[in-house]
Every structure is written in structure tokens, then in C-alpha cells.
Amino acid sequence: MGSSCDFCNRENFSERIFYETDLFYWVLGRKPIRPGHTLVIVKRHIQAFDELSGLESSALIFDMRQWLPKLLKTYSATGYNLAANYSLVAGQTIPHFHMHIVPRGQNESGQEDSVRARLYRDAPEVERPRLEPKSIQEQIAKLTKVD
């Protein structure tokens, strides 16, 4: 799709990439719901999960199996949310397939934030602070040191 798509232009998020393959970018969220909120962005411009190729689907699962434990360890999380939205009616604001991974802590119910509210449509979007460059670099350093 080119330059009109925010996720087709790597420069829009390059400073937040902590892992990259031929098929995907793993990126810290610009406005994270929780620390460690990660976007997994397919490089090929597609809009929906069911448009992933067999290779992309397999690679996504393979990479998730590698990175989910690292995200849990890095952010002292005991669980996580995985989410992908397709189309505006489902909350997809950038029409380029990506998944959200939100690490969750021991004392969280998972019911107090805007993702759940938006999924169940019982609350408006909540403003979240942007991730600052210093914090981005600190988090990337932690993530890339985890075995």
C-alpha cells in the first residue's frame, strides 16, 4: 500500500522495534496499555489475520512461542492478552494486520482497561501516555538480554 499506511513505513516505528524477521516487526506500543505492550506487525500489507500466508502464520506462532516467555519475564507478568482487530467496526484503526500482546501482572483482573471496554463496547477510548524514547531504549535493552 505504500506510504499512506503507517505500518508499511518502517520509519514510523523503527525506534521501538526490538525484534525483526523477514516477515514481522516486533514493536513496543507507542501508547502502551501496560508496560511491555507489544505490536507484532506483518511486513506485507494485508488487513486481516485470515490473509496471512501459511509461512506467515507458522512464523507468527513460532516467534510468539519464543517471545511470550521473554515478555512475561521482563515485565514480571504472569499472563497476557493477545488481540487482533479486523475492520473499523472491531476497532482496527490502522488497516494493516497486527497483533497486540499485553503482559499482565499477578494483581490485575484484566477488566480495568480500555481494551476490554472497547471489546465489550461499554466505555469510550481512554487516553494513555505515549512511551518516551528513554523508556523505549531501557525496555528494548531488557528484552534483548532475556534468555
Count, residues in the chain: 147
Asked if residue 65 lies in contact with residue 17, where contact means CB atoms within 8 angstroms, the answer is no
- Taking the alpha carbons of 46, 52, 100, 59 in that order, is the dihedral positive or negative? negative
Q: What is the pLDDT of residue 5?
A: 94
**Confidence class of residue 3 from pLDDT cuts 50, 70 and 90?**
low
Q: How far is CA 42 from CA 9, 30, 63, 121, in A?
A: 12, 17, 12, 27
Q: What is the pLDDT of residues 18-73, one digit of tens each?
A: 999 999 999 999 988 889 999 999 999 999 999 999 999 999 999 999 999 999 99
For the chain, first and last CA: distance in Å? 36
Most confident option among 5-9, 113-117, 139-143: 5-9
Q: Inter-axis angle of helices 54-74 and 133-145, to 10 degrees? A: 100
Show the domains of the chain with their CATH numbers. 2-145 (3.30.428.10)
**What is the pLDDT, as a whole number, of residue 120?**
44
The reply to whether the predicted model has a pTM over 0.75 is: yes
Neighbours of 143 (CB within 10 A): 20
Band the pLDDT of 140: cuts 50, 70, 90.
confident
Q: What share of the chain is helix, strand, coil (3-state, %, to 5)?
A: 40, 20, 45
- DSSP conformation class of 3: G
